[in-house]
Amino acid sequence: MLKKRGYAIAQCQWAKVDAFDKELTELVQNPNNYDKLTRPVCAFITFESDDGYIEALSYSKKMKWGFSGDKDPVMEGFEREQLLGADPLFRAATEPTNIIWENRHIKGLPFCTRATIALLIVTLMLVVSFGFVYLFKKTSINASAQFPKVNCKELIETIGNNDTLRDLAGMEYKEYIDPEN
């Protein structure tokens, strides 16, 4: 039933999905189904090496053909186990791109609208960040041009003593504060 529900989701058949949901809810709420529903039947296993992965797949391959045709020397002395009364079956997982995504049903104009809005937001953020960088850089350039670096030792050697330098600085300050006088 879950496979049929997954197929209905993949095909965007929402009426069937709702029907499966109701059926599943009734099944789960029935106390007689507790043992059947709480028994684990599937596990996702991650192997640390390819060797374990290959052995698990070959184990399932040998189980399909039974013990009579099993003449593989690697499998000799290998004791087959059952889990919860059933023979384990190992299969390779599908690629992650095959996962059924919940937003897969969004197609056409709504999809284009969402993609356009996302693109506009990213573009706006880039323009705003460029504006801030430009503004801060321009402010920095203006500040460094207004107050250039001065080598005081050369200035004192050129003008003379500190008194003359102080008088000239005072005159320039007065001209800056009150340029008309």
Q: Are residues 137 and 154 in the same domain?
A: no
Q: Are residues 132 and 180 in the same domain?
A: no
Q: Which is higher by pLDDT, 26 or 68?
A: 26
Q: Are residues 81 and 119 in the same domain?
A: no
The confidence score (pLDDT) of residue 155 equals: 73
Q: Are residues 14 and 53 in the same domain?
A: yes
Of 91, 102, 98, the closest CA to residue 45 belongs to: 91
Copy the structure tokens of residue 70: 């099993």
For tokens 């060797």, the residue is: 51
Q: Are residues 71 and 133 in the same domain?
A: no
Q: Are residues 74 and 94 in the same domain?
A: yes
Of 5-9, 49-53, 55-59, least confident by mean pLDDT is 55-59
Domain hosting residue 170, numbered range:
150-181
- Listed residues 105, 131, 161: the one ending a domain: 105
C-alpha dihedral (115, 119, 121, 127), degrees to nearest 10: -170
Q: How far apart are CA 81 and CA 96, in angstroms?
A: 30
Q: Are residues 78 and 20 in the same domain?
A: yes
Strand partners, 86: 83
- Listed residues 105, 132, 159: the one ending a domain: 105
pLDDT digits (tens, 9 = 90+) for 107-131: 788 889 989 999 999 999 999 999 9
Q: Which is higher by pLDDT, 71 or 93?
A: 93
> Are the C-beta atoms of 56 and 90 separated by less than 8 Å?
yes
> Are the C-beta atoms of 24 and 1 separated by less than 8 Å?
yes
Q: Are residues 18 and 77 in the same domain?
A: yes
Question: Mean pLDDT for the chain?
Answer: 78
Q: Are residues 88 and 99 in the same domain?
A: yes
Copy the structure tokens of residue 98: 């095959």
Q: Are residues 10 and 97 in the same domain?
A: yes
Residue 27 has pLDDT above 80, yes or no: yes
Q: Are residues 96 and 49 in the same domain?
A: yes
pLDDT digits (tens, 9 = 90+) for 11-24: 888 999 999 999 88
Q: Phi first, then psi: what are they for 83, rounded to 5°? A: -115, 120
47: Cβ–Cβ under 8 A, 6 or more apart, which residues? 53, 56
Tell if the pTM clears 0.75, that is, is over it. Answer: no
Domains held by the chain: number = 3
Q: Which is higher by pLDDT, 56 or 12?
A: 12
Q: Are residues 127 and 92 in the same domain?
A: no
